[in-house]
Amino acid sequence: MSDLMFVIGVYTTKSKKITLVESGKNREFSHNDRFQIEIVDLSRFEVPKSSMDDVMITWEVVYKKDWQNVATIVKARRSLDTNLRWLFNDLPAPEDLIRSGLTADVKVSLNGDLLDKISLEIFIESDKRYLSPDDTLRYLQCFFISKNYMYIQSL
């Protein structure tokens, strides 16, 4: 996990964009935990809900700070008018699979009228469960092995 960087972007048509980088080495997981990236205290960026009727959220993963090779997990544009939870079915599949069977669960929280928190998780449709940190590493590893990278070490 320490070799990974998680890049979360929030882009609105009426407001400034926010790009946040969360280092995998700052994440602490036990093997039985659900994998979750949670970005908090976003209200300091003063992005009001009223500016989010057309918002794009991206979730990308960078391996070993190589910004030329990025795995894009989520890139979607929607309205935050009433629904603060988005599900994105069938995340990108590794090269040898037709479909991944994975769903991104993106939750957005407000503090008053301001964007305050984004939470990102991955759900396995067939098993009806969320990915663990080890499952997540195995999934992400497929994107970087195909680009001649070494194996991403487990926790």
pLDDT digits (tens, 9 = 90+) for 21-52: 988 888 777 666 899 998 899 999 888 888 88
Q: What tokens appear for 147 in the block?
A: 């680009």
Whole-model pTM?
0.81
pLDDT of residue 62 exceeding 90 = yes
Strands 70-78 and 55-63: antiparallel
Distances (CA, A) of 42 to 4, 66, 108, 145: 22, 26, 10, 34
pLDDT higher than 90, residue 8: yes
The residue type found at 84 is L
Burial class (CB in 10 A: 0-12, 13-18, 19+), 55: buried
Q: Is the pLDDT of residue 98 over 70?
A: no
Q: Percent of the chain scored above 90 by pLDDT?
A: 17
| Secondary structure class of 125 (helix, strand, coil) | coil
Average per-residue pLDDT in the chain?
Answer: 81
Token readout for 54 is 């057309």
Task: Read off the pLDDT band of 9 (50, 70, 90).
Answer: very high
Alpha carbon of 49 to those of 12, 32, 58, 74, 111: distances in Å?
10, 35, 18, 21, 10
